[in-house]
Amino acid sequence: MNVLSCSCLLIFSGVLFFFGSWLLPITDPTESVYALTAKEMLEAGDSLSPRIYGNFWYDKPIMFYREILTAYQLFGINEFASRFFPAVFATIGLFITYFFGAKLYTERVGLAAAILLATSLEYWYLAHAVITDMTLLVMFSVTLMTFYLGYRAGRPKWYLISFAASGVAVLTKGPIGFFLPGLIILIFLAWQGDLRHLKQLLRPKNLLVFAAIVALWYLPMTLIHGLDFVKNFLGVHNFLRATVSEYPKADVWYYYLLISVIGFFPWSVVLIHAAVKNLRRLPKFDVPEKFLIVWALTVVIFFQLCATKYVTYTLPAMIPFAIFVARYFVNRWRMFIGIAGATLIFYPLILVFVALPVTEDNSGRREAELIKPLIDDSTCVVSHGKYPTSLVFYTGTTIYRLETPENFAKVRPQAMTWTSKNVMPFMLFDELPADKKIVAVVSAECDENFLYHSARKWELVGEVPKGSLEALVENFFGGQERRKLKSKIYRRVP
């Protein structure tokens, strides 16, 4: 690798991925679950079994939780530590893209692909997000890259690395870390007319390496937690996710087409142009192009067919897209450097003036600052409306989800439904303890409902306004004054 190119990638990484990560609060509903789980594991001295709200939690495998836990041990429990390893793996993603692009084509193509990746909106966002996807991206990509390099060079020893990386991918996000790369390889070999090569790929030693890595966590979890682990992890968080949409409104045929256009900003127009241009010469695709096309399209189509859709799912398709588009810029280098350089100014500004107010509106950090002085050993804390797991993370106290009997019947955890994820402690209005001080964090839109169902009077002790960005939009469209509040803090003294 060229020293100048590596230095360039480190600069992009430092400015785009690490700068300002300590400013962004832990957000709901996803980041806070990972952060709180790692925090509770650290406090329990248990690095094997994920847990949240004091209960064992089987949402994701161990890899990402271990990363956060390690960062908390190194840097303390804070935002920078929570976001440290996503930024690290985003940086690794740049270097493996550079390496693979250079191996397939030229060093300039590899460098351009890595910079394209770093400066794409979705990649920049996920480099800051406290979720599993950056770790999965790296392991997923190493699986496919080492397979292809071994296949092209006729060196089956590369396949050991491929299966090992796939094992770590399964430790990161579950069976998809093996199944989807395997599907991509199968389709590619079929296109090549070389399915007999599977015999070399599926040699016992390769499978043994994979099984040994996967067994490091799955075996003790099965032995310790038994059917409860298998049923919840494989049943709810894998099978249910693929067959029943968690967010039905997102289950539309064009979802990932739209996400790809937005996520690859500012390079989307070039990507579409390059795709159209290359589709005209479909019969002339060379072997590297075939592999990149199969990789990217299989990821997008597979997740489009799944019932549950998330913005982050198609992240592994960004590396082959980036390499594909990078070839367009090798003869347009000055324009490319100009656009990429502008992002070094653009994204830090977006982080401070857009990402920060948006994340503040989706976090309980400000509420935590208000209620901490009100909490003592005789205080019961409840939340009505949107349940902020981040508030539990920041306060370190038990917070009950306060519901009416009618709504509790709808959201209480039930097996093999999405409500099974609702493992936070619940409390009904008529169960509010009469002999304790109570602090209530209430979503602004649920304020009237809260006061209506509460039998006693409450003292309003604080209000949390919406972030400046949303308040600006609401002012522009003439929103009502009450809609500018995010939440209210009430206190009831027995």
Burial of 231 (0-12, 13-18, 19+ CB in 10 A): middle
Q: Rounded CA gap, 165 and 206, in Å?
A: 11
pTM of the model: 0.93
Q: Is it the case that residue 72 has pLDDT exceeding 60?
A: yes
Question: Amino acid identity, residue 236?
Answer: V
- Residue 234: the pLDDT is 79
pLDDT band at 95 (very low <50, low <70, confident <90, very high): very high
- Inter-CA distances, 189 with 58, 177, 194, 199, 246, Å: 35, 19, 5, 12, 34
CA-based end-to-end distance of the chain = 68
- Inter-CA distances, 349 with 115, 128, 352, Å: 19, 15, 5
User: Which of 252-261, 278-287, 307-316 has the lowest average pLDDT?
Assistant: 278-287
Strands 55-56 and 51-52: antiparallel
The 3-state DSSP class for residue 451 equals: helix
Q: Rounded CA gap, 387 and 419, in Å?
A: 14
Tens of pLDDT, residue by residue over 7-44, are 999 999 999 999 999 999 999 999 999 999 999 999 99
Q: Could you give the residue ranges of the DSSP H alpha helices within 1-132?
A: 3-13, 31-44, 63-75, 79-104, 107-118, 121-126
Tens of pLDDT, residue by residue over 268-308, are 876 666 556 655 555 578 899 999 999 999 999 999 998 87
Decide if 274 contacts 325 (C-beta within 8 A): yes
